[in-house]
Amino acid sequence: VPLGEFDLIAKYFTRRSARTDVLLGVGDDAALLAVPPGRVLVAATDTLVEGRHFLAGTPPGSIGHNALAVNLSDLAAMGAEPAWALLSLSLPSPDESWLEQFAGGLLALADSFGVALVGGDTVRGPLVVTVEVLGFVEPTRALRRSGARPGDLLYVSGWPGESAAGLEILRRTGRFDETADPLVRRHLFAEPRVALGRELGGLASAAMDVSDGLLGDLRKLCAASGAGATLELESLPVSAALRARCTPAECEHWVLAGGDDYELLFTAPASAQAAIESLDRDAAAGGRPRLTRIGRIEAGQAVRCTRAGRAVDVAEAGFDHFV
């Protein structure tokens, strides 16, 4: 007997949460949630469509994980603390093995960030997963894209490029079980930089999460701030895993244009440099990624790339292959 909608919700998506700010969760017409005094609500939503945002054949645990991870990344980029999530699921059929793995991936990540699933919607249709995440932030610590000023230093967290290289490996091999490969694992299980976003709340002047490629997203941050930037190509972080698999030109291409990184791209005034270097030094102990200074914000509108001080055409930097 196929599982009915109500049984499905009860079995896979209804769980007791330790959060005392969930006054009413799954089961009523809507959830009742208590925002702590002195903070503002932060809300983000993202939709993943099979064949467009993930390959057909992607393990359900990865789909569940990433559907939540991309939303947590948006909250991280605001400097916010995630609290609650809603899940809207369109499913071709109520396949129990699929549901168990999907819910397992989503709820394991939710648990690791103390996030409660408080509602959603379940319908029959093509495979489409929409998650909304709610959280909160002190209004003075919210990170916007628009705060970068000429003279600010430009940073990126972690290892941009790994996820896109992992996707390329998956496309070529179709081996979704290769999670021992760090590039494949990075693509299938994104790591939202929530702890870093919280730390940057008092330090960064602007931030965004990198989802469409570092260079393109830098242009968006600059446009929002009414500023330009210089990106120093020789400073870009290239992980050991990426370096081991790709030529230097390929590495640069993935780092600049790859996408699905979910790293934080942020700017800070020179007065915050020492504090950011200390975050970088204690990265592993604080559960945070390494931080790399990759350039600076400039007056004007232009986003320029340099290599050892010389201007470089971005097409030459390996960006054109992707457009």
Q: What is the contact surface with ligand ADP in residues (CB under 6 A)?
A: 9, 13, 26-29, 87, 89, 117, 119-122
**Residue 106 C-beta: closest distance to ligand ADP, Å:** 9
Instruction: Look at phi and psi of residue 268 and say left if phi exceeds 0, alpha if psi is from -120 to 50, else beta.
Output: beta
Distance of closest approach, residue 56 Cβ to ligand ADP, in angstroms = 21
CB of 125 to Mg ion, least distance (A): 13
Cβ-based nearer residue to Mg ion, 101 or 122: 122
Looking at the Cβ atoms of 61 and 119, the one nearer to ligand ADP is: 119
- Per the CB < 8 A criterion, the answer to whether 143 and 266 are in contact is yes
> Is 121 among the residues that bind Mg ion (CB under 5 A)?
yes
Segment interacting with Mg ion, rule: CB under 5 A, options 58-66, 105-113, 118-126, 175-183: 118-126
Task: Return the closest-CA partner of residue 146 out of 239, 59, 73, 225.
Answer: 225
**CB-wise, 119 or 258, nearer to ligand ADP?**
119
Q: Site size for Mg ion, by CB under 5 A? A: 1
State which H helix or E strand residue 37 sits in: none
Closest residue to Mg ion, judged by C-beta, is 121
Please, what is the minimum distance in Å from the beta carbon of residue 222 to ligand ADP? 38
Q: How far apart, in Å, are the Cα atoms of 115 and each of 185, 244, 318, 321? A: 22, 36, 39, 39
177 binds, among ligand ADP, Mg ion, none (CB under 5 to 8 A by kind): none
Tokens 């960006």 -> residue: 319
Q: Which stretch binds Mg ion (CB under 5 A): 7-15, 117-125, 151-159, 187-195?
A: 117-125
Alpha-carbon gap, residue 120 to 85, rounded angstroms = 8
Helix-then-strand count for the chain, H and E: 10, 13
Distance CA 201, CA 288 (A): 14
For residue 90, the minimal CB distance to ligand ADP (Å) is 10
CB of 221 to Mg ion, least distance (A): 37
Q: Cβ–Cβ contacts within 10 Å for residue 151, how many?
A: 13
Nearer to Mg ion, 27 or 286 (CB): 27
From Mg ion, ligand ADP, none, interface partner of 9 (C-beta below 5 to 8 A by class): ligand ADP
- Among ligand ADP, Mg ion, none, the one that 29 touches (CB under a kind-dependent 5 to 8 A) is ligand ADP
Cα Rg for the chain, rounded, in angstroms?
20
Which one, 26 or 190, has the nearer CB to ligand ADP? 26
Of 3-11, 113-121, 145-153, 235-243, which segment contacts Mg ion by CB under 5 A? Answer: 113-121
In angstroms, give the least distance from the CB of 67 to Mg ion: 18
User: For 309-313, which contacts have Cβ atoms below 8 Å and span 24 or more sequence positions?
Assistant: 312/233
Chosen from ligand ADP, Mg ion, none, partner binding at 98 (C-beta under 5 to 8 Å by type): none
Helix, strand, coil abundance in the chain, percent, nearest 5: 40, 25, 35
Question: Is residue 39 within 8 Å of 137, Cβ to Cβ?
Answer: yes
- Count Cα neighbours of 301 within 13 Å in the Cβ-side half-sphere: 1
Residues near Mg ion (CB under 5 A) are 121
